[in-house]
Amino acid sequence: MKQVTIKDIARAAGVSYSTVSRSLSGSSEISESTRTRILQICKQMNYTANAVARSMVMKNTKLLGMIVTDISNPFMSELAYYIDSQARNRGYNILLCNSLRSLEQERVLFELMISRKVDGVILFPAESESFHALETLLPRIPTIFVGENLRDVPESYVTVDNYRGAYMGVEYLYRLGHRRILYFGKRKGSTTHQLRGEGYHAACRDLGLTPRYMNNTFASTSIKHGYQLAQQLFSQPLDVTAVFATTDTNALGLMQAAEEKGIRIPEDLSLLGFDNIRYSGLPRIGLTTIEQPKKLLASMAVDSLLEKIENELTGYTHRVLTPSLVERTTCLKLEK
């Protein structure tokens, strides 16, 4: 598996290795004849440029670090797909890591990215504290936060307008005739979820409804935790007609608990989610939900980051996209 280098090509072609380099880089002043001749020899000798060596001198790697909390989460993996394709179009590849929602892991990984000299990092923050935990490291490498509102934090991010999304959700349920709407799974430690809660609250206020919460005491909004939380909810009589779940995964957990309790959705209880993960569109599930535009989120993340990298931009940008409602079958219109 001996590596064919530029020198071997130079020797074979009887030229200096800068000539070979020039032929390969396409640009530069060089005669068309030697150029094609050398390219031919490269092909014959099975030469493949060494990207590591090039990185060394070019001072870039054409690599983007992507730190997700968990790639097996459908929201992340869908975003990851779009990010990869967008990045590749622009000549970059993705170095993938999972932080497991641990601030400590996240920090280790971020340092790894610095060490590996990636050109930039796309970060799905482990928590709302991620910014502060990484603050000293951030100036060392262009970074964009994705999917989490960071409020007034001085670093770039792209996210959905969670406040607005929640507000829209309540309005929708209101229009269907619902007046007693529970906000299910409100979770601490995430600005995203805080904003969703605030949007819900504001809509209730504006529409004259009484806000009702069922807080999530668990660390995450997984299906399992939604299920456990819903078991608590269903252990006493229901006094609401609709539930607005803070995430689709939480909603799915609730659905499962409802099934077991014989509570029919939407006949007995309407259910609205948030995120529109792929699961939600599945047959038999058909979860009505507030959608995060994942493809757009991904391409904005890549664009913003590359803008920073390629134009050596300092400062930061905040991009906030408007979510939309995806109507499926879990919300019932109440007859008067």
The Cβ-side half-sphere exposure at 171, using a 13 Å CA radius, reads 13
Cβ-based nearer residue to a copy of itself, 80 or 332: 80
Q: Contact 47/4 with Cβ under 8 angstroms?
A: yes
> What 3-state class would DSSP assign to 182?
strand
**Full 3-state SS string of 70-98:** CCCCHHHHHHHHHHHHHHHHCCCEEEEEE
Residue 25 binds DNA, judged by CB under 7 A: yes
Among 36, 44, 49, 232, binds DNA (CB under 7 A): 49
Angle at 168 between CA 317 and CA 173, to 5 degrees: 160
236 binds, among DNA, a copy of itself, none (CB under 5 to 8 A by kind): none
Rounded to the nearest whole angstrom, what is the least distance from the CB of residue 54 to a copy of itself in the complex?
A: 9
Strand partners, 29: none
Contact of 167 with 229, CB cutoff 8 Å = no
Interface characters, 50-79, with DNA (x: CB under 7 A): x--xx-xxxx--------------------
Nearer to DNA, 33 or 236 (CB): 33
Neighbours of 36 (CB within 10 A): 11
Q: Decide if residue 21 touches DNA (CB under 7 A).
A: yes
Binding site for a copy of itself (CB under 8 A): 1, 48-53, 55-56, 61, 63, 66, 70-74, 76-78, 80-81, 84-85, 88, 93-98, 111-112, 114-117, 139-141, 223, 252-253, 255-256, 259, 278-279, 282-285
Residue 35 bridge partners (DSSP): none
**Does residue 22 bind DNA (CB under 7 A)?**
yes
Q: Which lies closer to a copy of itself via its Cβ, residue 84 or residue 148?
A: 84
CB of 139 to DNA, least distance (A): 17
Cβ contact 50:3 at 8 Å: yes
Residue 273 bridge partners (DSSP): 289
How do strand 288-291 and strand 324-326 relate by DSSP bridges? antiparallel
Looking at beta carbons only, is 49 or 219 nearer to a copy of itself? 49
Interface positions with DNA (CB under 7 A): 3, 5-7, 14-19, 21-22, 24-25, 28-31, 33-35, 49-50, 53-54, 56-59
